[in-house]
Structure 1
Amino acid sequence: MNTIRLTTAQALIKFLNSQYIKFDGKESKFVEGIFTIFGHGNVVGLGQALQQDSGQLKVLQGKNEQGMAQAAVAFAKQNNRKKIYACTSSIGPGAANMITAAGTATANNIPVLLLPGDTFATRQPDPVLQQVEHMNSAAITTNDAYKAVCKYWDRVTRPEQLMSAMINAMRVLTSLDDTGAVCIALPQDVQGEAYDFPEYFFKKRVHVIGRRKATDEEIEDAAKLISSKKKPLIICGGGVRYSEAGEELKKFAEEFNIPVSETQAGKSSIESDFSLNLGGVGVTGNLAANIIAENSDLVIGVGTRFTDFTSGSKELFRNKDVDFVTINTSIFHAGKMDGTKVVGDAKASLEQLQEALEKLAYKSSYKDEIVEAKVKWENEVKRLYSIKYPESNFKPEIEGQNEKFLEEFYKMYRSALPQTTVIGEINKFVEEELDGNYVVVGAAGSLPGDLQRLWKSSKKYSYHMEYGYSCMGYEIAGALGAKLAKPDKEVYAMVGDGSYLMLHSELVTSIQERKKINVLLFDNCGFGCINNLQMSNGMDSFGTEFRFRNEDGSRLNADYVPIDFAKCAEGYGVKTYKVKTIDELKNALKDAKNQSISTLIDIKVLPKTMTNGYKSWWHVGVAEVSDKKSIQEAYSQKQGFLENARKY
């Protein structure tokens, strides 16, 4: 047996260079590169290996471990899980920082390879700098915390263990039904230890991502159930996107006259103007989709996990005779909602199911309901896009809110921009001026709800929303990852001031790497989405706005804290703009398009001007006992919704 003597780190880099995937007959490199932040736990191990011979791997320098790993997640998502970046950190806080991104990847079923440094396998220098010690076990390190948020975890304590660890890692990273974050913890001494690795470990490996077909029995059962129903509804989930099954879904819907609704992950798998596309469904869904959903007697979930936002905490589907068909590569997710399972690839399964239903000559019983629902929603969109403050047609979209929020904000910034109006202008600009050749990225706050409801995409995969984890701080890092995946497209990060303050470090990386992104920063002086949530459940505003503390030291409810985000970003070398009017927004968008460096548009938007409701409910924990009448009423209302929610 021929061998090559390499360090563990050198062998790892050589192995990563030899990994390929094949999808629909097309072969491509799987590992694009590696994000690095070097510290004492990896700089002379993996760092040395990358400096000596990185092969074809692109080596990028991150600025925050979570940020670079979130960028890697976004890169894989924008590539429909067909390419990945690896990420390496030092031990201790560097490793811990990536745990949040691991959760993002696993919650969304997105592959990412994380390579944190670890303490010494020999334990001789223990405790080393940044080591967390446990009296009950010397084997526990920071990296054990990854186990809760990874699909595969291993620690390589001897060089020869690298082989089985990486074979298993690739199994999960290229999995159809069980992919997510993979953590391979690398003790810093082992990274530099040498071993005679067999040459076959470094051979070219092609991981075939096949199209798993459902069984005949599954197709027969699903077709039988569908043919017995009159008003089905399709929910297009992220599995449609990753299967690249948009065209098959449209054919299926047209053939049987079945309307399609979208999850956050599924949105832009088919074009927004498709005649049967109702748009977003559920808690952040729109009026059209939710009207149809509440009356449907069958829900066909294609590649969706049926999260509480999609199902309206299982209260959205109100027809007493409603049943579910679930198409998913994962038998776990296919079992959601006690549905009739079709375990298989979205594209292949839709083709199988269409053939079976054609033999049964099936058609839904919809007449004018789909068109009528869409017209109602289009009229509402026009209203939302044309709101003006403080004119007579204005009202905060969040019912029952005190207008003092708006008055104070307007007094401070002299900005009267409603959030929905701003989104309408941005959407119009990127569709008309860029001909849909863009990617819009978001993750948390009120923007995902407004975008799922209002945003219209003319091109596939132009909408990139991380909502499985809804991770604040993903937006700018995610925009960088999307730009790395699609360098020919304009990429826009839609981010609130709260998320921006949490994590925007990879904005600097975008400048360094000459990968232009556009940050559209919606400043409403606080965690506006959560402020709405607490107040709509009977609470007063508490701890969710960015306000000065009262002079008596009691609470944070004095004046708003003004922040000049444009001035801050200008210091990084970003081209910045300050926006308080629609004309200023239009001019900024136009000028930003012509820039070659990253841009930031600081948009002052009125609080309480996001969308809300539309026949949906979200189950949150409300205090059962309170001395406040409004909270008592909120609890009573919650109990009413729970009585109608399905119990699975």
Structure 2
Amino acid sequence: MKISGSQVVIECLIEQGVDTVFGYPGGNILNIYDALYKNSDRIRHILTAHEQAAAHAADGYARSTGKVGVCMATSGPGATNLVTGIATAYMDSSPIVAITCNVATPLLGKDTFQEIDITGVTLPITKHNFMVKNVNELASTIREAFAIASSGRPGPVLIDIPKEITAAEVEFEPVSKSEGMEKALTASHANLKRVFSVSVPTDEEIKAAAELINASQRPVIYAGGGVVISGAEKELLAFAEKAEIPVSESLMARAAFPSDHPLCTWMVGMHGTKASNMAITESDLIIALGSRFSDRVIGDPSKFGLNAKVFHIDIDPAEINKNIPTDGSLVGDIKEILNRLIPLIKETKRPDWMERIQTWKSEVPSTYNRQPENSVNPKFICECINKVAGDDTFITTEVGQHQMWTAQFYPFKKPRTFVTSGGLGTMGFGTGAAMGIQIGNPKARVVHIAGDGSFRMNCNELATIQHYNLPVVIVVVNNGALGNVRMWQRLFYGKRFSQTTLDFGPDWCKLAEAYGIKGYKASNAAEFEKVFTQAFKSEEPAVIDVTVDIDEMVLPMVPGGKPIYDMIMSLSKDVMS
């Protein structure tokens, strides 16, 4: 059948199982939006208040569902407004497809109104990108984009389509999703083959890995976001329990292992627990699963795991030996590798090692249980949210102190229930992500924990939340400051609080009410528990402004460049005064 390029886009999205796209229209993408209008019974479009939120919403949708998220924008500033969201997805290996429409081909390269070389702009932050200059290649390009985004180590792919391509007619042959993937693999250029291929370790390599693990006395697992992406949470649990190996988690893996499990040592790194950091330091074997040894995890690389061999399992061969030299590795899908490893692992008990782990777990900063007047302790906020909302609720954050407190204190027990920006550290990520999660999981609930600094960057999305009646509860952890930066200024810049005090509006409750959303305030623990319970049980959108002390700290803390065993556990009065 002969259809327009814009209809090809719709047919290919539906073919790939897409039910929702997030975006914002503009002149050069009008043909696609016209096709969306005509097919509104087949595919849903969510209009965000800003293109960046569309990218973050597609990202949140992808991370929570395991499917590819889709966002759209017009040329020029519409396309560049997607860039931060695309980069966020790239750093955290999240599969999204971004579709932009450029000026007509004859106008490219002539500084045409709202022209931008978006493929050039996004080249370093996409797994691959395309500009489609021939309508006959449009369907195959879209299919290839989805195959690339979801295969191997997932990531974002951008498709830029000049306007006349969306209007041109072409013969279109419908195919199934699996046929589309097969066609994409067959048609893929030779230099793209690597993005589809996944290594499969030999039986000898698996056996050697098992022997290394079985020989260790003080092993520790360093779980990364790849465990979640692979869906290997059950395998991780079985592996850790069989060999009695403690599990430390990167920020991206905080929901990969049950927080209440005796083997869980929670987060590792700059703001990691003493148990995680010391287990890494004192272990004789670090088993890294789907992790990239970020600087925020390893601290001083020359002093990371000095007593340990390092064994790294990852789907991306580029990560092996990139930041930390390894003593062995397996490249492939973590879930499949663990399933092959577990039968070869000896059932082991390590009483002496576990006793040391439990001792370290008991050593926590005194700030954990402090309850100051006229403000709420962050630990209480996290535990209260969990008590009321339950373990199935999705938790999102922005970036800053509130994000670290959530990672430190929230007792995650279910996979994929924690969604945050790790690699890029994007302030402004969480509200859009929360919208995408809620839309992708309509029967679930989402609580978004935001800092007052980050929420300034995306509070316009309250319009989107209200319009689509998304029952997202936003908890604004309000310390009247850019708390993380202020903390560094206190510790390392002589208390020169340059441009980090936010003592000027808005009134978050009034702002919420201006958007037609209920606002609540809380300045002590009892008030917070009362208003959060009320807001959550209303099953409507809500904003809660909860007061936190401006100088509340995130401890433990490893100063930048220091080894992860060099932790600040408490601060003297002169530092805090």
Structure 1 position 301, deviation (Å): 0.7
Q: 1:128/1:211 Cα in 2 relative to 1: closer, same or farther (>3 Å)?
A: closer
Amino acid at match of 1:598: P
Aligned length: 550
Amino acid at match of 1:374: Q
1:231 alignment partner in structure 2: 218
| Contact map agreement 1:479 1:517 (CA 8 A) in 2 | yes
Find 2:375's aligned residue among 381, 404, 416.
416
Larger Rg: 1
Question: How far apart, CA to CA, are the structure 2 residues paired with 1:563 and 1:436?
Answer: 32
| Contact map agreement 2:12 2:143 (CA 8 A) in 1 | no
Structure 1 position 416, deviation (Å): 3.2
Structure 1 position 85, deviation (Å): 2.9
Find 1:387's aligned residue among 361, 366, 370.
370
Question: How far apart, CA to CA, are the structure 2 residues paired with 1:98 and 1:236?
Answer: 30
Question: Per-residue CA shift, 1:217-251, capped at 9, x if unaligned?
Answer: 32133223323432111011112112222222122
Question: How far apart, CA to CA, are the structure 1 residues paired with 2:161 and 2:118?
Answer: 12
Structure 1 position 170, deviation (Å): 1.9
Find 2:310's aligned residue among 324, 335, 344.
324
| Contact map agreement 2:8 2:139 (CA 8 A) in 1 | no
1:24 alignment partner in structure 2: none
Find 1:308's aligned residue among 295, 301, 305.
295
Q: 1:594/1:428 Cα in 2 relative to 1: closer, same or farther (>3 Å)?
A: closer
Structure 1 position 441, deviation (Å): 0.7
| Contact map agreement 1:304 1:328 (CA 8 A) in 2 | yes
Structure 1 position 377, deviation (Å): 3.4
Question: How far apart, CA to CA, are the structure 2 residues paired with 1:150 and 1:55?
Answer: 31
Structure 1 position 493, deviation (Å): 0.8
| Contact map agreement 1:17 1:55 (CA 8 A) in 2 | no
Question: Per-residue CA shift, 1:229-275, capped at 9, x if unaligned?
Answer: 32111011112112222222122112112111111111122211112
Structure 1 position 314, deviation (Å): 2.4
Question: How far apart, CA to CA, are the structure 1 residues paired with 2:380 and 2:352?
Answer: 28
Structure 1 position 471, deviation (Å): 0.7
| Contact map agreement 1:313 1:617 (CA 8 A) in 2 | no
TM-score by length of 2: 0.89
Residue 430 (str. 1) matches residue 389 (str. 2): no
2:543 alignment partner in structure 1: 600
1:399 alignment partner in structure 2: none
Secondary structure of 1:487's counterpart equals coil
Q: 1:125/1:384 Cα in 2 relative to 1: closer, same or farther (>3 Å)?
A: closer
Structure 1 position 61, deviation (Å): 1.1
Q: 1:295/1:604 Cα in 2 relative to 1: closer, same or farther (>3 Å)?
A: same
Residue 186 (str. 1) matches residue 161 (str. 2): yes
2:90 alignment partner in structure 1: 106
State how 1:335-350 maps to structure 2 within 5 Å: 335-336=321-322, 337-339=324-326, 340-350=328-338
| Contact map agreement 1:120 1:126 (CA 8 A) in 2 | no
Find 1:618's aligned residue among 523, 537, 560.
560
Question: How far apart, CA to CA, are the structure 2 residues paired with 1:465 and 1:286?
Answer: 19
Find 1:241's aligned residue among 208, 215, 228.
228
2:73 alignment partner in structure 1: 89
Question: How far apart, CA to CA, are the structure 2 residues paired with 1:260 and 1:338?
Answer: 21
| Contact map agreement 2:431 2:461 (CA 8 A) in 1 | yes
Identity of aligned residues (%): 24
Q: 1:211/1:186 Cα in 2 relative to 1: closer, same or farther (>3 Å)?
A: closer
Secondary structure of 1:205's counterpart equals helix
Secondary structure of 1:17's counterpart equals helix
Structure 1 position 494, deviation (Å): 0.9
1:157 alignment partner in structure 2: 133
Secondary structure of 2:107's counterpart equals coil
Question: How far apart, CA to CA, are the structure 1 residues paired with 2:131 and 2:108?
Answer: 18
1:355 alignment partner in structure 2: 343
Question: How far apart, CA to CA, are the structure 1 residues paired with 2:320 and 2:301?
Answer: 16
Q: Choose between structure 1 and 2: higher helix proportion.
A: 2
Q: 1:426/1:613 Cα in 2 relative to 1: closer, same or farther (>3 Å)?
A: closer
Residue 15 (str. 1) matches residue 32 (str. 2): no
Structure 1 position 599, deviation (Å): 0.4
Secondary structure of 1:519's counterpart equals strand
| Contact map agreement 1:18 1:202 (CA 8 A) in 2 | yes
Residue 118 (str. 1) matches residue 74 (str. 2): no
Q: Relative to structure 2, which stretch is displaced further, 579-588 or 485-494?
A: 485-494
| Contact map agreement 2:104 2:164 (CA 8 A) in 1 | yes
Structure 1 position 34, deviation (Å): 1.2
Unaligned runs of 5+ in 2: 183-195, 567-577
Unaligned runs of 5+ in 1: 20-28, 133-140, 391-414, 548-559, 620-636, 642-648
Question: Per-residue CA shift, 1:52-110, capped at 9, x if unaligned?
Answer: 2356322111110001110110110011x3x1331111111111000000001111110
